[in-house]
Structure 1
Amino acid sequence: MTVDSQGTATAGSQDAPGRAAGKSQTPPPPSGAKEALQPSRGRRSLPGGLLPYLLVTPALLSMAVLLLYPLISNLILSFQSVNRRELIRRETPWVGFDNYTELLGNSEFWTVVVRSVAFTAANVALIMAIGTGIGLLLNRLGKKMRLVLSLALAFAWAMPIVASVTVFQWLFDEQFGVVNWLMRTLGFSGYEQHNWFETGFSTFVIITVLVVWGSVPFVALNMYAGLTTVGTELYEAARMDGASGWRTFWAVVFPNLKPFFMITTFLEVIWVFKAFTQVYAMNAGGPDRTTETLPVFAYIEGMSQQHYGVAAAISILTIVMLLVAMSFYFRLILKQEDEQ
């Protein structure tokens, strides 16, 4: 407060700058803020719910062209009688469910179904057991040895199927095969020009070795990736409790990686059940059609026997069997989610 020459107090003139300064501490918003937030009039943004559908449209269209259309055509063909005679005459008579009733009443078809299920079960069990063991080994190895083993697994996985079949045919060749030479070197008799593809059982053994060899890398590498997510404190706690390696696996590893085991087993069931190239390229389903699985059976009925309607019905029944397996798997997934 100051007093002028006339004795009047002039406090207001001193406080005004302070109030003005206090007001100036919060700068006004820029004049162009509203204009910057407003979209330009020449551009229209897509609705938020429409953009995801536009992004997946190319994938859906490609799947419809490559998968849905052949599936529908195959389904239609399964209700028609298309053999060599109809193919020459360009006729497609409708027979309804006759192809399906013929198959379901054919003992040969059920033999192939049982053979396919047994082949799938044996391969999946071996793939999961060996792949899990190698995955655990990768988790225990040092960095250099882990890199070497991982590269070997990747090379085996990347090997083209036809090339790997050719290598296995050479290994088990009757005259120049390495396996016959090795058996003779070890002192076993009866392996002078032994034919490993003489019986269906021995042929299936070779095919099983090939399928397991080509599928183990996928399980092993994914198993190792899953093990990296398990905390080391869990292993330390199990070790302090005196748990053995087997007990540690069932108490620590398996509960934490249960989703991995479920999805991997399910994928292997699908891949092995529909395996075609390994079985057909090895010995064309022989000898005497004793190594035919459902995909090979459908191919031979269609391309060799020219029973195209029956072959289409076989493929549709194969898809139905896989759908049953898928429903069982998804039921397990839903049950597990409810438990959590």
Structure 2
Amino acid sequence: MSVQTEQADADGVSVRKGEAPPPRGAGSATKNGGGGRRSPRARGSFAPYALLLPATIVTIVLLGWPLVKNGMLSFQNLNPKQLILHLTEWNGVENYKETLTNEDFWRVVLRSFLFTTVNVVLIMVLGTLIGLLLARLGQRMRVTLLIGLVLAWAMPIIAATTVFQWLFAQRFGVVNYLFVQLGFEGMADHNWLGTQFSTFAVVTLVIVWQSIPFVAINLYAASTTIPRELYEAAALDGADSWKIFRTVTFPFLKPFLWATLFLEVIWVFKSFAQVFAINQGKPDRLTETLPVYAYIEGFGNQHFGMGAAISILTILILLLLTAYYLRTVIKQEEDEL
């Protein structure tokens, strides 16, 4: 009786000598339970996209479609006449030409950048100091301060602006009353909203007061991730507080500072409610930032196409800022690698 020998094919399937080998891939198909069925991992690869779909649809409906309509409106000549008669008059890029050749627009752009710079610097410096203070306080004081920060952060924008209007009111204002009590009789009827500088000072107080909690709480949360051993080692080496911050705290907080800085720049640059509610761009339209300028040109002067064009230009400026931020972050990540 002859002994039958076996040889293994490339897929690891036994083949008797003298028999035809099975088709290529039959072994792998058998192992996977059939060639036409996908693995559970492949079937589950669509789950993240399915979860993102509702949020994507809501974003497109609530943000995408209004943006498209606003873009179409920026290419139209839409004034009260066309609005009443339901006329659509396309005028191409005339709204953009008129805006970009208007000196007032560029003055508002410069004013918006200066306003954003001052606010963001104050917000980041004060917010960082308070965040570091939270890390050093005891538990009771920390909880008390955190509650105060959250309450300030949670207050609605218009409500907060109304409170500051009452504080700086020309008559019966708390700030003027306190100055009189301190001996400054000339401040009894001082108009804080009468000049460009003082109006911006009040608006800056509102925005900084509302923005500090976000920065402080973020930085405090980030500081809790820094290993305590690094501080102990720096103290043993004789490093003072500034050197410890520069060599230990700041390198860990740098990514959080960059992200928070970018968010604050966007938030302050597009702030509308505080600036408009305080003084509606007065006196003499000297306190208008780009969002307020777009609103007054569009709805105040009823040049709706012009207002839409200004808002689109504002969005483009924000996109340029975003692109610069992303480029900086990517470059930092490449340098670290």
TM-score, with length taken from structure 2: 0.86
Question: Equivalent residue for 1:239?
Answer: 235
By how many angstroms is 1:312 displaced? 0.5
* Partner of residue 51 from structure 1, selected from 30, 35, 47: 47
* Partner of residue 311 from structure 1, selected from 307, 311, 326: 307
By how many angstroms is 1:134 displaced? 0.3
RMSD: 1.6
State how far apart, in whole Å, the 1-side matches of 2:94 and 2:239 are: 60
State how far apart, in whole Å, the 2-side matches of 1:233 and 1:154 are: 30
Question: Equivalent residue for 2:145?
Answer: 149
Is 1:277–2:256 an aligned residue pair? Answer: no
Question: Equivalent residue for 1:102?
Answer: 98
Question: Equivalent residue for 1:228?
Answer: 224
- Which structure 1 residue ranges, 5 or more long, are not aligned? 1-37, 39-44
TM-score, with length taken from structure 1: 0.85
Question: Equivalent residue for 1:295?
Answer: 291
State how far apart, in whole Å, the 1-side matches of 2:150 and 2:262 are: 21
By how many angstroms is 1:49 displaced? 2.7
Task: Give a deviation string over 1:84-118, Cα, whole Å, max 9, x none.
Answer: 22212221211111111111100000111011111
Question: Equivalent residue for 2:190?
Answer: 194
* Partner of residue 177 from structure 1, selected from 160, 163, 173: 173
Is 1:211–2:210 an aligned residue pair? Answer: no
By how many angstroms is 1:332 displaced? 1.2
* Partner of residue 89 from structure 1, selected from 85, 92, 98: 85
Structure 2: which amino acid aligns with 1:164?
A
State how far apart, in whole Å, the 2-side matches of 1:278 and 1:204 are: 10
By how many angstroms is 1:51 displaced? 2.1
* Partner of residue 164 from structure 2, selected from 159, 165, 168: 168
By how many angstroms is 1:279 displaced? 0.6
| Matched position secondary structure for 2:44 | coil
Is 1:260–2:256 an aligned residue pair? Answer: yes
State how far apart, in whole Å, the 1-side matches of 2:310 and 2:158 are: 24
Task: Give a deviation string over 1:190-209, Cα, whole Å, max 9, x none.
Answer: 10211111111100000000
State how far apart, in whole Å, the 1-side matches of 2:227 and 2:49 are: 39
* Partner of residue 114 from structure 2, selected from 114, 118, 128: 118
State how far apart, in whole Å, the 1-side matches of 2:145 and 2:82 are: 55
By how many angstroms is 1:319 displaced? 0.5
| Matched position secondary structure for 2:186 | coil
By how many angstroms is 1:188 displaced? 2.1
State how far apart, in whole Å, the 1-side matches of 2:112 and 2:312 are: 15
Task: Give a deviation string over 1:314-340, Cα, whole Å, max 9, x none.
Answer: 110011000100011101111121122
State how far apart, in whole Å, the 2-side matches of 1:115 and 1:233 are: 46
Larger Rg: 1
Question: Equivalent residue for 2:322?
Answer: 326
State how far apart, in whole Å, the 1-side matches of 2:45 and 2:155 are: 43
State how far apart, in whole Å, the 1-side matches of 2:211 and 2:132 are: 16
Task: Give a deviation string over 1:20-69, Cα, whole Å, max 9, x none.
Answer: xxxxxxxxxxxxxxxxxx9xxxxxx8932322222111111100100000
Task: Give a deviation string over 1:156-199, Cα, whole Å, max 9, x none.
Answer: 00111111111101100111011101111222241021111111
Question: Equivalent residue for 1:78?
Answer: 74
Paired residues, what number?
A: 299
Question: Equivalent residue for 1:13?
Answer: none
| Matched position secondary structure for 1:173 | coil
More displaced stretch, 60-69 vs 280-289? 280-289
- Which structure 2 residue ranges, 5 or more long, are not aligned? 1-32, 34-39
By how many angstroms is 1:267 displaced? 0.1
Between the aligned residues of both structures, percent identity stands at 56
State how far apart, in whole Å, the 1-side matches of 2:332 and 2:88 are: 48
